[in-house]
Structure 1
Amino acid sequence: MQQFALIGAAGYVAPRHMRAIRDTGNQLALAHDVNDSVGILDSFAPQAAFFTDFECFQERARQLARQPGQALDWVSVCSPNHLHHAHIAAGLRLGANVICEKPLVPTPGLLDELVRVEQETGRRVFNILQLRQHAAILALRQQIAAAPQDRRWEVDLSYITARGAWYHQSWKGDARKSFGLATNIGVHFFDMLHFVFGALHSVHLHYSDAQRAAGFLEYERARVRWFLSIDARDLPPAVQGRQSTYRCIDIDGQPLEFSEGFADLHTESYRAILAGQGWGLEDARTCIEAVTTLRHASPVRAQAGELHPLAAPWVSGRR
């Protein structure tokens, strides 16, 4: 049984980490969040020490290190995006390995900083890139790998996850903290495309507002039109009123709808990491480079065949 700490215990994704720690046979010993609405801890780790002050959290971690068999082995980070770098570095300097939610950090420069902290501490950072564990994505990757190497696919990626007015009042709606929509809800999809289709060659932004973003990516083995949205109006008519999230990859006209199958992906990610098969800093570099480029890009006119169909009404001003 290994000892875990969790930073960001009151967040939306925190219960998935708590469940993963428990279901892999380990112990959540210590938790931190500035918000004290963490009753969910009672369902997974009622014995865990909890602190709202980060300094007290760090001091308890140091105290545990002086007790036989109690030192932290892992720190899991699921705090707001803008705090990831600081919390990862703190976990490494406490002598623990770190598991962090996406996006790992906002820029390649901060990724390089974490490489240096890994070298200084002798500890490792692993990213939750759960789509690399999804059965449908793994099957697709095998299909692409088995095809002739000179074949290129035409791909449409659509991800719509409806969010209410609260989103824009939270840290997620503040681009200084979330780093924008494409980073906050798109980074793991861009990683998945790299995982399946190889090296990223070019990045273009066609449209962006507070609710949606669209553009075009060219990978080694695919040309990808992509569309991301948190506006329920963008959901396909066939699913409106039935579900609030829609994920689809259309490959050469064949849709691969993968909205299901996400329930246990964090636990599977933890199992892989604990078995020495996790995704580290360099594995995250391509998707971080993609979202960094998009964050600083101005929309450009789409070339023929490069505009995602769901983006067309917004680009033309018909919506």
Structure 2
Amino acid sequence: MNVRRLIPSAALAGAVALAATALTACSGASATGSKDGKLHVTASFYPMQFLAAQIGKEHVKVDTLTKPGVEPHDLEITPKQTGQLGEADVILYLKSLQPAVDKAVAQSGVKNVVDAATLTELEVHAASGHDHDHEGEAGHGDSHGHGEAGADPHIWLDPAKYAEVAKGVGAALEKADPGHAADYKKNTDELVGKLTGLDTEFKDGLTNTATRTFITTHSAFGYLAERYGLDQEGISGVDPEAEPSPARVKEIQEIAKKDNVTTVFFETLASDKTAKTLAKDTGLTTDVLDPLEGITDKSQGADYFEVMRSNLKNLQKALGSK
């Protein structure tokens, strides 16, 4: 099982209420005051953009700071984006995932700011799901600095946690634009229902497999592994495009043999060089496990739900689902 510990935070029972009260009380003027009469939401990257669009629908205009094809962790904010950020009615971001965004948000002066990391419980995940440590490993095995004490920010890859965030975002939009609160509530309930259904699909689809271990070049799937009883084996201490050390290759070979692993997963927004090198050295095949940090024409689906279902299909194949 994935090694993790909880990050102390406010009780989850009050998360939705906190999301709403954290926003400065404002009338529907923030929506109708714009020329197009819509609530202008700036999202930090795709998972936040998707929530805003699904919940806000026709009542919102959603912009994203991270354009399709850009690796979110490495995003640099332009002066133009900084200026546009200050004009938003609502900012929706995930603190600690993108340092440049954190800095820009703090300087924006926007009162209606929603940090998705406050809407669910964050955890620390080791790069390995097994009960051993890897030298040089920090946090959940990704080279990027994430959260307090190495908290894993990839909450959207767990449909149940993503649903918790959706509820908080819905409450925030209701507070920012009370004139359309009923629609935001309805849309939130619909989205949460779809996410609950996706959660069930993953549970049913991964119940009976030949192995519970998967290997990935980007250790983004700690929450997913924890939710469905899997073991994530990340290439420790490196980013998705770095080559593994000879020692780690040898360890991966041993893990693959011991746990009947057949596949090394890589992601769509990074090079597959690491996965192919590792697969060649270990006799394994490669496939895509998308961390859903952005949608491009290379993605295995057009939106969150399609890509997550592709991830499920690829996991079932790699794990030997019966």
TM-score, structure 1 normalization: 0.30
- Higher strand proportion: 1
